[in-house]
Amino acid sequence: MALRSIYRGLRRNDSRLCSYLHSHATSFGFKEVREDEKSQMVGNVFTSVASSYDVMNDLMSGGLHRLWKERLVSKLNPFPGMKHLDVAGGTGDVAFRILDSIHSVAHRALRDSHDDNLLGETQIFVCDINANMLRVGRKRAHDRGLGDDKSLVWVEGDAEKLTFGGASMDGYTIAFGIRNVTHIEKALAEAYRVLKPGGRFLCLELSHVELPIFKDLYDYYSFAVIPKVGELVAGDRESYQYLVESIRRFPKQEKFATMIEEAGFQKVEYENLVGGVVAIHSGLKF
């Protein structure tokens, strides 16, 4: 009887293990979870932090995230009439900068050509899997007087399964988002698919610091300070603990560059900012 109970117990455990292995494991911060759980868990994080996301970015980076995004957009070289996709861009921070840059370029050009047709054809698609983040972005657009701007298109969508046609975009950006997808290689493949030949891929992401003393300080700040600030400001320590852990699980700069090349991109390069706290990776589709 005792042996039969043990056998049943082993069968139950084997069944659970097989179920876990069949669904495949992936990381959620430092935890291992099933792939089919991760997207929901990440969604819960961003639903929780959406309303305080921009304030927390300012606090966590000392406002430097604004300069990092400006650097990202400067590498893109936006132009009037372009079709651009900004993924994981729900709050609109990168999209607004791209649009500002295009209007600046257009203003200089229109003094000579007086032709605003290209400006009217510009479309910046802001794609995010989280409806709450998009809601924050739309409100920010309205507050900036861009609520009726036809150039901004808000789309709820998955970076791994984009609904846009192949070779339809002049540019693709993703800022602080790719480390949250379940399959980075699938997101990169989709980025390559939707870009036109000659299109540029740009990724701004928190990365890895190698200088020993700076790394120790950065680790202390990340694990001791950021979750505490999240608890005090956003009332959510766990979400910011995950965000810190997800940075450490993200591939290092060289490895990520290799992944971009394997997706088909050429002329892949990266630039470290603040000693590798963040990195901007870029690649071209030929």
Average pLDDT, the chain: 86
Mean pLDDT of 62-85: 96
149-193 pLDDT per residue, tens: 899 999 999 999 999 999 999 999 999 999 999 999 999 999 999
Q: Residues comprising the binding site for S-adenosyl-L-methionine?
A: 91, 128, 158-159
> Could you give the count of Cα atoms lying within 13 Å of 174 in the half-sphere of its Cβ?
26
pLDDT of residue 112: 55
- With bands split at pLDDT 50, 70 and 90, how would you rate the model's confidence at 2? very low
Rounded Cα gap, residues 202 and 280, in angstroms: 7
- With bands split at pLDDT 50, 70 and 90, how would you rate the model's confidence at 105? confident
The answer, yes or no, to whether residue 106 has pLDDT greater than 70, is: no
pLDDT of residue 28: 59
The answer, yes or no, to whether residue 47 has pLDDT greater than 80, is: no
pLDDT of residue 261: 98
Closest by CA position to 92, among listed 55, 46, 137 = 137
* First CA to last CA distance, the chain: 68
pLDDT of residue 113: 56
In 129-275, the DSSP E strands lie at 152-156, 169-175, 195-206, 266-273
Place of tokens 């950021």: 226
Handedness of CA 214, 203, 260, 34 (dihedral sign): positive
pLDDT of residue 110: 57
9-20 pLDDT per residue, tens: 434 444 444 444
pLDDT of residue 240: 86
Alpha-carbon dihedral 59, 60, 63, 65, rounded to 10 degrees: -140
